[in-house]
Amino acid sequence: MSKKISWLLIGFFLLSIAMPLIAKAADIAPDPAGTSTGKAIDVPAAVAGSPTLEELAATAGHNRVAINMMWTLITGFLVMFMQAGFAMVETGLTRAKNVAHTMAMNFMVYPLGMLGFYVCGFAFMFGGLGPIATMGGFNGLNHEISITLMGKSFGLFGGKGFFLTGQGYDVAVFALFLFQMVFMDTTATIPTGAMAERWKYISFFIYALCVGTVIYPIYGNWVWGGGWLAMLGQNFHLGHGHVDFAGSSVVHMTGGVIALVGAWFIGPRIGKFNKDKSPNPIPGHNIPMAVIGTFILAFGWFGFNPGSTLAGTDLRIAVVAVNTMLASATSAVVATIWMWAVRTKKPDPSMMCNGLLAGLVAITAPCAFVNSVSACIIGIVSGVLVVEAVYFFEGVLKIDDPVGAISVHGVNGAWGVLALGLFADGTYGDGWNGVAGTVKGLFYGDSSQFIAECVGVLANLVYIGLISLIVFKLIDIFVGTRVAPEAEIEGLDVPEMGVPGYVGVKMDKFSETPFSK
């Protein structure tokens, strides 16, 4: 038997060295260095290999759009991964007995927000956008519902693109939808941190459907969809209108304000405040998870900010990316030093993480419009701002925010757009929101830009504050908001989700609740 196998193996060996000899001279040479792959023949042409100028121009234009669309999609994928970052940060900073519930909220907000945005949110936000300039200029999203006040048109929300059908079934629209959807989901997941550890899952579930359909898209239309905040420049000569490059106000301040209203509405966790209203700390159960989550968010932010050019051919992306990085660094360091030297004499790890995130939130609006020194300064301010805001909301306003969502996203989201109104240096943004010239802030000669940013902040506070209050109140009437005290003390995993998040891990669940003196 082994003799037969030996002959078989010898036969295969001889065949393998004979094959190259049998091969004919018609073999094509391979290209290991890549210097001869891709030639004129690859340009689509009537006469293959000899394209006309028109054919060449068409291909160049198509390739330009392709670069921009690839950029938009791939940075969108990065932002999608931030959902994992938020999940880790929130779960790490809350208690072990609630992990299944906290994770399930952060998980479910992704599909629910997406579907709400798909059904009508995207249409409300971008239905009146106009041409998608960087990806071919398709102008199917051209129906904005407006009212006329003082002789000017105030765009309120869009009316095209529901279910991405009709004129919505276009490749540029689809790319835009994906990119904008992951931004919406970033907003959607912020309040789950502020309301964690006592939120009924059914109440959260309905909220998640509301945020993608009505809460987020309306304000988003006002700033990014061609609505009235964007038109403050054209209509009232306030700079270039309310400018927000990647969403300090549209995404983060919106999320922070919903979080503020929600945390106030749902009330503090049992044991958080004593009878004299002094706060008790409730330590998170997994600092490593929180730190890893912060790095995942920082990585995803490289999609969030540079991707907002919607154009890989817009080389300002290099400036955007570096500004983003620098602000995160100064903010993290300053927040750490502020805790270490000024506040508690210890460099608290969770505040380090909040510090980095605050810098990222604050630079999100101005990242395309400022120089690197300004980016560092913006981060320095946000580092102090986030720490003091945590003390303020907890110690002064007595609002329980387990993860610092209000301080990181709400406060620094507002600071971000105000910083744009101060530090925009006029090197970018010609024609933004239909106003000629580049975007300049107060320190570079245009005080009206700062005023436009203030208007946007106020509009956010009022609209998002009101709509989220209405939504939470309505949900509360139908299904309630807060779990029963027994469930909260035992841990939400089994009563709400049916399974413990950590099976077989010893937890003294009842001692994790501070005693309210």
Partner 1 sequence: MKMIQAIIRREKLEAVKQALDAIHCPGMMVWEIVGHGKQKGITEQYRGREFRVDFLPKTKIEIVVSDSKVKAIVDVIIKVANTDKVGDGKIFIIPVEDAVRIRTGEKGEVAVS
Interface ranges with partner 1 (CB under 8 A)? 279-284, 339, 343-344, 346, 348, 350-351, 387, 390-391, 394, 404, 514
Residues 400, 386: Cα–Cα separation, whole Å: 15
CA 288 to chain CA centroid, nearest Å: 22
Amino acid at site 400: D
DSSP letters along 468-493, please?
A: HHHHHHHHHHHH-SB--HHHHHH-SI
Q: Which amino acid is at 460?
A: N
Give, as one character, the DSSP assignment of residue 117: I
Cβ(438)–Cβ(427) below 8 Å: yes
> How many CB atoms sit inside 10 A of residue 319's CB?
19
Q: Which residues contact 282 (CB under 8 A, 6 or more apart)?
A: 95, 269, 271, 272, 402, 512, 513, 514
In this complex, which beta carbon is closest to partner 1, that of residue 319 or of residue 351? 351
Q: Interior CA angle at 451 toward 449 and 456, to 5°?
A: 95
CB of 353 to partner 1, least distance (A): 11
CB nearer to partner 1: pick between 55 and 348:
348
C-beta of 351 vs 362, nearer to partner 1 = 351
Query: Cβ of residue 77: shortest distance to partner 1, in angstroms?
Result: 33
Q: Minimum Å distance from CB 279 to partner 1?
A: 6
Q: What is the identity of the amino acid at 467?
A: I
Is the CB of 162 or the CB of 502 nearer to partner 1? 502
Q: Are 122 and 221 in contact (CB under 8 A)?
A: no
**Least CB distance to partner 1 at residue 274 (A):** 11
**Whole-number minimum distance, CB 381 to partner 1, in Å?**
19
At 148, which helix (H) or strand (E)? Answer: strand 144-149
Nearest approach, Cβ of 346 to partner 1 (angstroms)? 6
267/279 with CB nearer partner 1: 279
Q: Which is nearer to partner 1, 247 or 293 (CB)?
A: 293
**Nearest CB to partner 1, comparing residues 62 and 277:** 277
Residue with Cβ nearer partner 1 (275 or 346):
346
363 vs 339: CA distance, rounded Å? 22
Shortest spacing between CB 350 and partner 1, in angstroms: 6
Paired residues of 241 in beta bridges: 239
- For partner 1, which is the closer residue by CB, 181 or 196? 196
Helix (H), strand (E), coil (C) string for 163-227: HHCHHHCCHHHHHHHHHHHHHHHHHHHHHHHHCCCCECHHHHHHHHHHHHHHHHHHHHHHHHCCC
Separation of CA 366 from chain center: 15
Question: Are the CB atoms for 141 and 129 separated by under 8 Å?
Answer: yes
∠ CA 495-498-501, nearest 5°, is 100
For partner 1, the closer CB: 350 or 481: 350
Please state the φ and ψ torsions of residue 199, each to the nearest 5 degrees. Answer: -95, 125
Name the minimum Å distance from CB 450 to partner 1.
32
Query: Minimum distance from CB of 387 to partner 1 (Å)?
Result: 7
DSSP tag of 273: B
Dist. CA 328–CA 379, nearest whole Å: 6
Closest CB to partner 1 among residues 280, 313? 280
Q: In the bound complex, what is the minimum distance in angstroms from residue 240's beta carbon to partner 1? A: 39
